[in-house]
């Protein structure tokens, strides 16, 4: 056997370190090349780190929550002979120069969150992949219900439950005995079929024998069958019966009730903690630094206006069914993107970047629109590329897919780069107007308020109309207030008459 050390690879351009969020393996586990061994969060994304070896995990060199520099050894493997191997499979030189390149690995986010199967590529977020491993589910056999066939945790659970029902009823061996009948005692080969190797935490034993009916009762009562005390044995292994499970469950319930009463009394008198701390690093720190750079570099000015969109509401309602038939959820955002591009074509100064070193303003003749998405890790801005070349349904589908990937932390750095203008939708949370911070080095960002019926004046009378509040923040070094107002008016016109967008 040979020991191979594996360094934290370069998981993204410009990334110097990452937080080891979770280990997916433990010492002694057998792994194959490509199996995910760890999840690492960088200042750009959450990525999965695959093994490059077939072998056994020997040692873990970092703990969950540690910040690990790229190039540091994080895990070692015991592998077999090197026959048939190549130079790339050799262990990295751990005594090289401090600046030696890190071990190469396929860690692009999209690649790292997919599993290659005989039927094609299966996409699943880290949480779903982890759950599949815990439930002993082949991720390649799970049917995904998300965009593009993406697999969710619910899909994994549904597949596991379906497989369990099939296994228990396929040959009739798991049918519960009738009333008054005693369950057959397993012996020999039958006993080995009732061994539960993955039923939960091993509180007392590693293996426990029990008939299917007893196993079902334990699961129903939420009891770890390995923790149920018993003096009965079969073939040298502990054997648990239904009476043992019920007695254990009753004792646990009594203990939980007493503990709950004691805890309630303590909570009534204990003072809440005055302060708590959460780490300021990874994606959250990157967002903060980007916001500070933008705010302290570009002098922000915000122009507020309101678009009347009764016709847009009607048009979207008419097109929703057609979109649904094509498997697309048509949102107002797709219309807004098309209206914004129309405005940028008329006022290209808002689709620009100030190059202070070269002392030039770079006008972009392509339209990559960033969409701010709220996630558990903070605000991320996926970019819809070449919006001017795409139709409404294509844009709507891409926005939905990128937003899902951002929330599931499976989005790649490349999918958040190259933007020329950004949109943020604070109206989704009930907001009306705001002063959004420009996604530097862009020079403008449009904020959308909540679409609601509000009072407007038409022909001297106050009537109710659907309106969309707009907040346009600009870099005043590049864009004048007049240009901001004209751009906003153009966007309003296209939103008020959406049929123009369909041309």
Q: At what angle do helices 212-221 and 242-269 cross, to 10 degrees?
A: 10
pLDDT for the residue numbered 412: 85
Question: What pLDDT was estimated at residue 434?
Answer: 93
Which of 256 and 293 is assigned the larger pLDDT? Answer: 293
According to DSSP, the residues that pair with 79 across neighbouring strands are 2, 55
> Which tens digit of pLDDT belongs to each residue from 34-53?
888 998 887 666 778 888 88
Topology classification of domain 2-112: OB fold (Dihydrolipoamide Acetyltransferase, E2P) (2.40.50)
Q: What ranges make up the beta strands (E) of 157-204?
A: none
Whether 446 contacts 423, CB under 8 Å = yes
- Split at pLDDT 50, 70, 90, the class of 290 is confident
The pLDDT assigned to 196 comes to 37
Q: What is the pLDDT of residue 155?
A: 80
Per-residue pLDDT at 148: 54
- Mean pLDDT lowest among 8-22, 164-178, 207-221: 164-178
Beta bridge partners of 361: 354
Q: Which residue has the higher pLDDT, 201 or 280?
A: 280
Mean pLDDT of the chain: 79
Asked if pLDDT for residue 73 goes beyond 70, the answer is: yes
314 phi and psi, to 5 degrees? -65, -45
pLDDT at 124: 63
**Which strand (E) or helix (H) includes residue 36?**
strand 36-41
Runs of H (alpha helix) within 270-307:
282-297
- The reported pLDDT for the residue numbered 204 is 55
Task: Say if CB 469 and CB 427 are below 8 A apart.
Answer: yes
Q: E strand or H helix at 467, and its extent? A: strand 461-475
| Per-residue model confidence (pLDDT) at position 46 | 73
Strand runs labelled E in 84-219: 114-117, 120-123
Helix (H) or strand (E) segment spanning residue 128: helix 126-134
Q: Which two tokens stand for residue 201?
A: 């935490």
Residue 276 token pair: 């708590």
pLDDT at position 441 is 93
- Structure-model confidence comparison of residues 387 and 140, the more confident one: 387
Grade residue 399 by pLDDT with cuts at 50, 70 and 90: very high
**More confident: 444 or 219:** 444
User: What does the alpha-carbon distance between residue 246 and residue 235 come to, in Å, rounded to a whole number?
Assistant: 24
* Sequence-ordered list of residues with C-beta below 8 angstroms from that of 318, at least 6 positions apart, any chain: none
- Per the model's pLDDT, the better-predicted residue between 131 and 466 turns out to be 466
Q: What is the percentage of the chain residues whose pLDDT exceeds 70?
A: 76
pLDDT band with cut points at 50, 70 and 90 for residue 68: confident
What gap in Å lies between CA 96 and CA 8, rounded to an integer? 15
pTM of the model: 0.56
Residue 308, CA distances (Å) to 172, 311, 376, 443, 485 in order: 65, 8, 33, 26, 16
Q: Do residues 19 and 45 touch, judged by C-beta distance below 8 A?
A: no
Q: What is the pLDDT of residues 78-96, one digit of tens each?
A: 987 544 344 333 333 433 3
Measured CA to CA, the distance from residue 6 to residue 75 in angstroms comes to 5
CA atoms within 13 A on the CB side of 169: 6
Q: How many CB atoms lie within 10 A of CB 189?
A: 7
pLDDT of residue 123: 60
The predicted-structure confidence for 400-426, as pLDDT tens digits, reads as follows: 999 999 888 888 888 989 999 999 999
Fold (topology level) of 283-500 = Chloramphenicol Acetyltransferase (3.30.559)
Q: What is the reported pLDDT for 466?
A: 96
pLDDT reported for residue 191: 38
Q: Which CATH number fits domain 207-251: 1.20.1260.10, 3.40.50.300, 1.25.60.10, 4.10.320.10?
A: 4.10.320.10
Q: What distance in Å separates the CA atoms of residue 334 and residue 1, rounded to the nearest whole number?
A: 57
Question: How far apart are alpha carbons 216 and 225 in whole angstroms?
Answer: 10
Contact 74, 314 (CB under 8 A): no
Comparing 459 with 176, the larger pLDDT belongs to 459
Token pair of 174, please? 């798991």
Active site residues: 476
pLDDT at 401: 94
In sequence order, which residues have a C-beta less than 8 Å from that of residue 180 and are 6 or more positions away? none
Distance between CA atoms of residues 147 and 328, nearest Å = 9
Cα(342)–Cα(354) distance, rounded to whole angstroms?
A: 22
What CA–CA distance (Å, rounded) separates 405 from 496?
31
Q: Which phi-psi region, left, alpha or beta, contains residue 180 (left: φ > 0; alpha: ψ -120 to 50)?
A: left
For residue range 175-211, list pLDDT tens digits in order: 333 443 434 444 443 433 333 333 333 345 767 887 7
Whether the pLDDT of residue 385 is over 90: the answer is yes
Predicted confidence at residue 202, as pLDDT, reads 39
CB 360 within 8 A of CB 290: no
- Residues of the chain by 3-state class (helix, strand, coil), percent to 5: 35, 25, 40
Tokens 């370069």 -> residue: 10
Give the number of other Cβ atoms within 10 Å of residue 112's Cβ.
23
Q: Is 207-251's fold the same as 283-500's?
A: no
Who's near 492: CB < 8 A, 6+ residues apart? 305, 307, 308, 470
pLDDT at 456 > cutoff 90: yes
The continuous run of DSSP H or E covering 5 comes out as strand 2-7
Structure tokens at 286: 């990157």
Strand spans (E) along 309-451: 352-355, 360-363, 369-371, 373-375, 378-380, 383-384, 421-424, 444-448
How confident is the model over 121-147, as a mean pLDDT?
71
The DSSP call for residue 173 is T
Mean local confidence (pLDDT), 255-265: 68
Domain parsing of the chain, residue ranges? 2-112, 207-251, 283-500
* Torsion over CA: 112, 116, 121, 122 (sign): negative
Q: What is the pLDDT of residue 161?
A: 76
């Amino acid at each position: 056997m040979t020991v191979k050390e594996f360094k934290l690879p370069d998981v993204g351009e410009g990334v110097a370190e990452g937080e080891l969020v979770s280990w997916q393996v433990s010492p002694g586990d057998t792994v194959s090349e490509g199996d995910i061994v760890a999840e690492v969060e960088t200042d750009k994304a959450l990525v999965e780190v695959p093994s490059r070896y077939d072998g056994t995990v020997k040692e873990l060199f970092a703990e969950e929550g540690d910040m690990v520099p790229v190039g540091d050894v994080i895990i070692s493997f015991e592998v077999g002979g090197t026959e048939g191997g190549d130079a790339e499979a050799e262990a990295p030189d751990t005594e090289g120069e401090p600046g030696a390149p890190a071990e190469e690995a396929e860690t692009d986010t999209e690649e790292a969150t997919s599993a290659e199967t005989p039927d094609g590529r299966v996409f699943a977020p880290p949480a779903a992949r982890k759950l599949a491993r815990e439930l002993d589910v082949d991720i390649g056999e799970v049917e995904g219900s998300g965009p593009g066939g993406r697999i969710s945790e619910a899909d994994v659970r549904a597949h596991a439950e379906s497989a369990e029902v099939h296994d228990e009823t396929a040959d009739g061996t798991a049918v519960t005995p009738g009333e008054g009948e005693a369950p057959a005692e397993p012996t020999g080969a039958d006993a080995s079929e009732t061994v539960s190797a993955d039923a939960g935490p091993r509180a007392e034993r590693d293996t426990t024998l029990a008939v299917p009916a007893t196993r079902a009762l334990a699961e129903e009562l939420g009891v770890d069958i390995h923790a149920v005390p018993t003096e009965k044995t079969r073939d040298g292994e502990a054997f648990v019966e239904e009476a043992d499970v019920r007695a254990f469950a009753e004792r646990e319930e009594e203990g939980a009730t007493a503990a709950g009463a004691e805890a309630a009394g303590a909570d009534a008198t204990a003072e809440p903690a005055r302060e708590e701390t959460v780490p300021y690093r990874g994606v959250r720190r990157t967002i903060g630094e980007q916001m500070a750079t933008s705010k302290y570099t570009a002098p922000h000015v915000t122009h507020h206006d309101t678009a009347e969109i009764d016709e847009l509401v009607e048009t979207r309602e008419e097109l929703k069914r057609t979109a649904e038939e094509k498997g697309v959820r048509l949102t107002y955002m797709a219309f807004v993107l098309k209206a914004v591009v129309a405005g940028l074509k008329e006022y290209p100064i808002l689709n620009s970047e100030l190059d202070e070193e070269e002392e030039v303003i770079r006008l972009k003749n392509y339209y990559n629109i960033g969409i701010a998405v709220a996630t558990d890790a903070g605000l991320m801005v996926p970019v819809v590329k070449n919006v001017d070349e795409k139709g409404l349904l294509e844009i709507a589908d891409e926005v939905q897919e990128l937003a899902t990937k951002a929330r599931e932390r499976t989005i790649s750095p490349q999918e958040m780069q190259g933007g020329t203008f950004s949109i943020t939708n604070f109206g989704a949370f009930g907001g009306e107007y705001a002063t959004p911070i420009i996604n530097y080095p862009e020079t403008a960002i449009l904020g959308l308020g909540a679409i609601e019926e509000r009072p407007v004046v038409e022909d001297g009378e106050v009537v109710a109309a659907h309106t969309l509040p707009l907040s346009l923040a600009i870099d005043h070094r590049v864009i004048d207030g007049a240009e901001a107002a004209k751009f906003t008016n153009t966007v309003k016109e296209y939103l008020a008459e959406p049929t123009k967008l369909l041309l």
